[in-house]
Chains A and B, each alone.
Chain A
Amino acid sequence: MAELGSFALLLALALSVYTFLAGIVALIFQNRSPIPANGGARSALATPAGNLVTLLRRGSERLGETARRAGIATFAAVFLASVLLVICAFHDDFSIAYIFHHSNRDLPGPYKFAVLWSGQEGSLLFWSLLLAAYGFVLRLRYKTDPRLFAYASVVLAGVQIFFLSLLNFAAHPFAIMQGTIPADGNGLNPLLQYPEMVIHPPMLYLGYVGFTVPFAFALGALIMKYPGEKWIHITRRWTMVTWAFLTCGVFLGAHWAYSVLGWGGYWGWDPVENASLMPWLTGTAFLHSVMMQEKRGMLKMWNMWLVFATFWLAILGTFLTRSGIISSVHAFAQSSIGEWFGWFLLITFAVFVVFFFKNKSHLRSEHKLESLVSRESSFLFNNLLFVLLCFTVLWGTWFPKISELVQGNKVTVGAPFYNRVAIPVALLLLILTAVGPLLAWRKTSLESLKRNFMWPTLGAIAVAVFLMITPQRWGSAFGLKPWQDISYFYSLMAIALSVLVILTVASEFYRGGRVISKHTGQGRFASMVQLTHRNTRRYGGYIVHFGVVVVIIGFAGAAFNQDKEQEMANGDKMNIGPYTLICRSYTDDDAPNYASEWAILDVYKGGKQIDTMTPVRRFYKASQQTSTMPDIRSTLNEDLYLVFEGLNQDNGHPIIKAHLNALVMWIWMGVWIMLIGTVVALIPNAPAPIRVPAPARLETAPVTGD
């Protein structure tokens, strides 16, 4: 099995190299032997030189086709290697070092499947598989624009060669154990034995790897000086799907951290978390600025850099977490492949810079800007803030290393730093999210600004005042006194600005729906659905914005979190917020894969029992590690989050830590809304109705296009 897997990987590398080299040769010859212009075709073909040109052209086309097919075959080879590794995990083949280090006999089936991406070598194989899968789809769809797709295919093959070289020469997943074969494996890291871990890495990797595709198209378009914005149209859906995967991956990671790590939070600003956030920020900036290029032919150079930065940051994140250059709590650190990533980053940067400066004259803007108060300006500021947030995260991630180089000692850059620096910028971004969509392209008059913003602004102010004057006993976000703490001030601002965004988005739907309703006589809701269907990208985008602010409201709740730790014998009570916890019992259990200790706690609110919760602590036998499984009771207002921290060694009583985390559910709801919005934006627009002259007897006229 190991030999077959190794052979598949080697074959995949050979096929990728062929795709890359043959693709380049084919493109060079196609460029040197262009199709003769209409008039010259016959005469050119009649001469010996013309014959040679024709032969070269046909030859290069055939060569290009073989390169395309080799690219498709690469997917088959990498897929075979991945399937073999999973089969080895299910067969407990501990002769393979990777399986020995990341699996054990009693590991449940789904986690044996997840072994594929649980360690360094397997995750690189998985990365390579996803890249090959994206390449497979791209090469099948080549007829959309054969030349551009050929360029993109070559770029993709270049990236694939890097990952397959790593797998074959630096981090081989089929490496054989030395000496006698152990009877059982070391087991999977306990923190990864959680259902979400089966889907979190694939989602994140689909996002990371997916940004290679827009980058490949962008670099291809830059190299071939592709006319127009068609490459943007081709990659729009790729970019949005990739962005949705990355969003999903980032938030699944946050949810996993919340549900498994047991410290009561969902984001710790660890370098690995930052590594996933950075490409998300630049990718989001690209999704916005790309509209400027599509609609107005502007920001072409900027978009090139953004799409490159997104791809580059995805690789940089991997470099950060696998090189050990920056300390992280995640397990991939301290390996020898960091150098490989470092060189790859340098080479891709150099290649991009060379082609950018060679062909940048091709990327000139086509239009001028008419006014500071316009959609164009708002996109510029929006991009500035996204990129600045990304820079802040990058700066914070690297600062310990920089500090060590400059002053000889490391410093910690944790949540307090990001709260001070990133929150003000994020609030500015929230203001733009409210203002931007209502600005018209080219120029917006002050009257229209006043008309569109007066009611949403008044609404946001009213909500802020309401939150300040209401009593605290109403719930977490009520009775907010911004002068008591800077975190309360930020929370109030975040909630008020979120309301502003919600109201502006709602007013957009309302006004558009009203126009359709007036013209067609449909109900208001049906009109809004029709409105969305006519311009799915715009209104899908608004739904995404709505989701984002719901997430922000969830983040704002962090200012009201409480926690309490207590030893709880049978019948002991603990009060936290409006809840009273009474320990009914505590016990232990034994399963093949782990032993567990858990407490049974009755939860009372207002003197009435509302739930029974059972936080658990597990001891995994194979890896000899412990892990907590917090029990979480979620409501819209707050999460009651209980952690079984262990037993007091003196009296054997369980120690329970209770967290009351405000508005956390809003975060997960917001993510769902964001994903729904993205799906809506991916749906093709409904055709615009055709305007026909209305007969005089009809009262309603048909509506014109959007």
Chain B
Amino acid sequence: MLEGPRCQMLGLRIGRRPKHLRPETLEAKTNSNPTKRLARHRRKAAQTILLCAAVFALVGAGDPATRFNEIGHQMMCICGCNQILLECNHIGCPDSDGMRNELMAAVSRGDSDSLVEQSFVQKYGPTVLAAPTAKGFDRAAYIIPFAALFFGFGMVVLVILAWKNRPAPALADGLRPVHGAELEQFRDQARKETDL
């Protein structure tokens, strides 16, 4: 909506808007529409969550000791001990002390996390990272388990629905299946008599 000075600059005629386009009318309409109100609330909630997530993610991010600890736990010692860099406990380990010093120097310089990781990967190879990255084929490491979760969840729901729709076993002559309130009544009776 063009209004005020910008509207004047464009040489448009300024006048009072039709009633159905006035802000107070629009606001009243929006408030009266539950779907739009819900959408607005959802948007606000999403923004709040995003803001909170950003705040949480940034808490402590600038502290060098925290960063050293965090990045050091995302890397492996390359001496073959198969331990996290900051957990490598060999006295006389040919690698871990040097790697820790390098990491401390990089953090003190203010290098970003990705820059530190890149320089370590270049120097020691991709096995220096304790977990696959979120790039290229490595992404598959993370995608596949969650894809399996969603696929499995869908399969279970389908199985449940298929089993629900399965026809009930046929009853002998003279018997009729029990449904609804009558069935609930029998269930209550059974629970009362057997409940422990």
Distance, CA A680 to CA B163, complexed state (A): 34
The closest CB in chain A to the CB of B136 belongs to A407
Query: What are 10 A-to-B residue pairs whose CB atoms are below 8 Å?
Result: A262-B89, A366-B169, A368-B164, A369-B160, A369-B164, A395-B144, A403-B132, A403-B141, A415-B131, A515-B196
A645 and B91 in contact (CB under 8 A), knowing A403-B137, A407-B136, A417-B141?
yes
Please give the residue numbers on chain A whose beta carbons come within 8 Å of chain B beta carbons, in ascending order.
262-265, 268, 270, 298, 327-329, 365-372, 377, 380-381, 384, 387-388, 391-392, 395-396, 399, 403, 406-407, 409-417, 420-421, 425, 440, 443, 483-485, 512, 515-516, 531, 534-535, 628, 643, 645-646, 655, 657, 703-706
Q: Are A370 and B164 in contact, with the CB atoms below 8 A?
A: yes
Q: Which residues of A contact B152 (CB under 8 A)?
A: 384, 387-388
A412 and B138 in contact (CB under 8 A), knowing A268-B82, A388-B148?
no
Interface status of B156 (Cβ within 8 A of chain A): yes
Q: Are B82 and A270 in contact, with the CB atoms below 8 A?
A: yes
Q: Are B81 and A483 in contact, with the CB atoms below 8 A?
A: no
Interface status of B168 (Cβ within 8 A of chain A): yes
Distance, CA A46 to CA B137, complexed state (A): 74
Distance, CA A392 to CA B148, complexed state (A): 9
Distance, CA A515 to CA B88, complexed state (A): 56
Q: Which residues of B contact A388 (CB under 8 A)?
A: 145, 148-149, 152
Contact pick for B87, options A263, A367, A704, CB 8 Å: A263
What's the nearest-Cβ distance from chain B to residue A702, in Å?
13
Q: Which residues of A contact B142 (CB under 8 A)?
A: 417, 420-421
The closest CB in chain B to the CB of A703 belongs to B196
Q: Which residues of B contact A655 (CB under 8 A)?
A: 91
What's the nearest-Cβ distance from chain A to residue B116, in Å?
15
Residue among A264, A268, A411 with max Cβ neighbours from chain B (10 Å) = A411
B128-151 at interface with A (beta carbon < 8 Å): 128-132, 136-138, 141-142, 144-146, 148-149
Q: Are B160 and A380 in contact, with the CB atoms below 8 A?
A: yes
Contact pick for B149, options A410, A425, A512, CB 8 Å: A425
Distance, CA A420 to CA B137, complexed state (A): 17
Distance, CA A365 to CA B159, complexed state (A): 12
Interface status of B9 (Cβ within 8 A of chain A): no
Q: Are A412 and B131 in contact, with the CB atoms below 8 A?
A: yes
Q: Which residues of B contact A420 (CB under 8 A)?
A: 131, 142
Q: Are A365 and B163 in contact, with the CB atoms below 8 A?
A: yes
Q: Are A395 and B141 in contact, with the CB atoms below 8 A?
A: yes
Distance, CA A327 to CA B82, complexed state (A): 9
Q: Are B194 and A484 in contact, with the CB atoms below 8 A?
A: no
Contact pick for B141, options A396, A531, A645, A706, CB 8 Å: A396
Q: Are B194 and A413 in contact, with the CB atoms below 8 A?
A: no
A416 and B74 in contact (CB under 8 A), knowing A410-B127, A411-B129?
yes
Interface status of B115 (Cβ within 8 A of chain A): no
Distance, CA A369 to CA B76, complexed state (A): 49
CB-based closest 4 A-B pairs: A646-B91, A369-B163, A417-B131, A414-B130
Q: Are A412 and B127 in contact, with the CB atoms below 8 A?
A: yes
Contact pick for B159, options A270, A380, A410, A628, CB 8 Å: A380
Stretch of B18-26, B30-38, B54-62, B101-109 at the chain-chain interface: B54-62
Interface residues on B, range: 35 or more
What's the nearest-Cβ distance from chain A to residue B137, in Å?
5
Interface status of B125 (Cβ within 8 A of chain A): yes
What's the nearest-Cβ distance from chain B to residue A229, in Å?
17
Distance, CA A371 to CA B165, complexed state (A): 10
Q: Are B76 and A412 in contact, with the CB atoms below 8 A?
A: yes
Distance, CA A27 to CA B91, complexed state (A): 62
Distance, CA A504 to CA B185, complexed state (A): 26
Please give the residue numbers on chain B whose beta carbons come within 8 Å of chain A beta carbons, in ascending order.
52, 55-56, 59-60, 73-74, 76, 81-84, 87-89, 91-92, 125-132, 136-138, 141-142, 144-146, 148-149, 152-153, 155-156, 159-160, 163-169, 187, 191, 193-196
Q: Which residues of A contact B165 (CB under 8 A)?
A: 368
Q: Are A645 and B89 in contact, with the CB atoms below 8 A?
A: yes
Q: Which residues of A contact B59 (CB under 8 A)?
A: 483-484
Distance, CA A380 to CA B168, complexed state (A): 20
Residue among B88, B91, B125 with max Cβ neighbours from chain A (10 Å) = B91
What's the nearest-Cβ distance from chain B to residue A416, in Å?
4
What's the nearest-Cβ distance from chain A to residue B99, in Å?
14
Distance, CA A104 to CA B62, complexed state (A): 55
Q: Are B74 and A368 in contact, with the CB atoms below 8 A?
A: no
Contact pick for B168, options A298, A368, A387, A534, CB 8 Å: A368
Distance, CA A370 to CA B166, complexed state (A): 10
Q: Are A704 and B194 in contact, with the CB atoms below 8 A?
A: yes
The closest CB in chain A to the CB of B155 belongs to A384
Q: Are A628 and B89 in contact, with the CB atoms below 8 A?
A: yes
The closest CB in chain A to the CB of B55 belongs to A483
What's the nearest-Cβ distance from chain B to residue A357, in Å?
19
Distance, CA A646 to CA B90, complexed state (A): 9
Q: Which residues of B contact A367 (CB under 8 A)?
A: 169
Q: Are A415 and B156 in contact, with the CB atoms below 8 A?
A: no
Distance, CA A207 to CA B136, complexed state (A): 39
The closest CB in chain B to the CB of A488 belongs to B56
Contact pick for B83, options A268, A384, A403, A407, CB 8 Å: A268
A380 and B136 in contact (CB under 8 A), knowing A369-B163, A704-B194?
no
Q: Are A410 and B89 in contact, with the CB atoms below 8 A?
A: no
Q: Are A368 and B166 in contact, with the CB atoms below 8 A?
A: yes
The closest CB in chain B to the CB of A419 belongs to B131
Q: Are B160 and A415 in contact, with the CB atoms below 8 A?
A: no
Q: Are B87 and A264 in contact, with the CB atoms below 8 A?
A: yes
Contact pick for B131, options A371, A413, A531, CB 8 Å: A413
What's the nearest-Cβ distance from chain A to residue B73, in Å?
7
Distance, CA A407 to CA B133, complexed state (A): 13
Q: Which residues of B contact A298 (CB under 8 A)?
A: 163
Distance, CA A265 to CA B89, complexed state (A): 11
What's the nearest-Cβ distance from chain B to residue A390, in Å?
11
Distance, CA A569 to CA B57, complexed state (A): 41
